[in-house]
Chains A and B, each alone.
Chain A
Amino acid sequence: MRKFLTTAFCTTLAATAVGAMFPQSAIANGAIAGTVSFEGDSPTRRPMQMAADPVCEKANPDGRLGEVMVINNGKIANVFVYIKDGLGDVKPAVPTDPVVIDQSGCMYTPHVVGARVGQVVQIMNSDPTLHNVHSLAKESRQFNSAMPIKGMKIKKKFTAPEIMVKMKCDVHPWMGAYIGVLDHPYFGVTGEDGSFSITDVPAGKYTVEAWHEHLGTKTGTATVAADGTASVNFSFAPAAP
């Protein structure tokens, strides 16, 4: 009996220790992947007009194309894809690494990004000109900070989930970025080829949403098996005029 109790105690202790060392997100090996497509002819990307600030114009001698509608071979970039529903209470720890957004060449890089509630968002100014970073958050406190010096960094946090927080520079109205703020880490942003991947997803059935700043949202479902990859593809029609 004593031997049984000792074995049971040690097993419980070991399980607890392993659980603490590897939270659910770390031991979940599922994934959701797919592509986001555009129905119809790809619109022409509009060149940005940056004459309002000579520094910006000089930084882009060959011009710069807008980032609102980036569509290559029918695939859409800068689409934020995230698990909208089905996670329950799964909320892995907030990463200590910051999400970095740079202001370079008078554009935001990246244009669309995700962040966790409470995670540090570090905004940098790599340009030798003035920028101001103006958050238009509705669920978190808004901010508007001047960044007049090259190399300057500021750190901000969002306190509530929000799809999406727009960030803009009032000095250069063409500069805009979007941050998807979530209380979980299961999100991704499509690349130039329209593909996305959300990793370390626990097994389960989920509602997945794709958001685009101009085209709106599309919803799909994904059933993720343990160690499996669920495929979800989205297709956007041209926005109504």
Chain B
Amino acid sequence: MPDYYDRLLHRAAVLTAGLTFLLIIAGGLVTSRDAGLAVPDWPLSFGSINPPHWYAIENVRTEHGHRLIAGIVTLATLTTAIIAKRRDPRRWARRLAAAAAGAVLLQALLGGIRVLSLDIDFAIVHGAVGQAFFCLTVLLAAATSPVWADLQQDNGRRPHLRRWATLLAVAVFGQLLVGLSIRHIVSAGQQSLLAAPIFYTHIGLGLAVALLAVLTLLAANAEGTSGAAARLLRRPASAVTGLVVVQIGLGFATFIITDAMTPDRQATMLEGWLPTLHVAVGAAILATSVLLSVRCFVGGLAEPAALANPVVTAR
């Protein structure tokens, strides 16, 4: 596999991933404010691409803003896929970009089905696919980065790190699914979360994720402390561990702030943003753990000589 780096493609992929993270925050805010059905039609909003005064009412602003950002992300993803198709010689990379394009269209469709069907199950599916799509965009950004080729040149097998990183990614995704169920189903009722068994599953999985993050970090540290290994394996492992600590704190704060919420009033700023931040950090943990896991499997790490002089294509 030849070394390959295309600055334009990489920048497009990074931009897409960044916008997608913003979209996840916007989507989280929609759920936190219970604004998902404030605009009852789809794909248009009140029969218009951009209805007048949409920003005047909070829940309409939240839902329509989410749609506008989603439109921008769709354009960015499709543009990245087109650039990849035209310029990236790696078939798998072109397929990855095409998969991201397909995923963003599927995600838009799921959002529409959720609005039109009024079925809350689709809200959970929409949230889960959104997280998976974000992982795809992060992987695409990583795959188009100048260090990707260096990963492929290394022969390190790293069985322990592969195992823990993969288990971590799977556990985080499972945790996200449980969290989505809590947000969309349990929180919609008036009962305390303490009465919902799934809440304890969420706590249990959270502890499992924390343990796996530590084991992953230990395994990553065992790979060495200097050179490219530090940059490409230890850093994401350290980042995940740090984010998990932050996430546990956010989860606790979210429970304290929102458990007393009743569905008969507008969420306060804290009630809206705190659970949204919890979702956003969860997305960051998932994407980082998936990235780490994939990096483990791509190969190993070469000495950073190639980093200094990557093959640059700037057509």
Q: A residues engaging B (CB < 8 A)?
A: 46, 48-54, 66, 68, 129-130, 132, 134, 142-146, 148, 168, 170-174, 176, 214, 241
Contact = CB atoms under 8 A, between A and B. Distances in A.
A48 B265 contact: yes
Q: Give the interface SS of chain B, mostly helix, strand, loop or mixed.
A: loop
Contact of B266 (A168, A172, A176): A172
Contact of A174 (B41, B56, B264): B264
Contact of B59 (A52, A68, A241): A52
B57 A171 contact: yes
B235 to A, nearest CB: 41
Contacts, number: 69
A144 B118 contact: yes
A173 B266 contact: yes
B262 A132 contact: no
Given A129-B57, A130-B57, A146-B46, A49 B38 contact: no
Contact of B262 (A52, A53, A68, A168): A68
A130 B61 CA distance: 12
Nearest to B266: A52
Contacts of A174: 264-266
A68 B40 contact: no
Interface residues of B, number: 25
Nearest to A133: B40
A170 to B, nearest CB: 4
B263 interface: yes
A49 B37 contact: no
A144 to B, nearest CB: 4
Contact of B37 (A48, A144, A148, A176): A144
Interface string B251-275: 0000000000011111110000000
A176 B262 CA distance: 12
A219 B174 CA distance: 43
A143 B266 CA distance: 22
Contact of B118 (A49, A134, A146): A134
Interface stretch (B28-36, B87-95, B130-138, B163-171): B28-36
A176 B60 CA distance: 18
B38 A171 contact: yes
Contact of B40 (A66, A144, A173, A214): A144
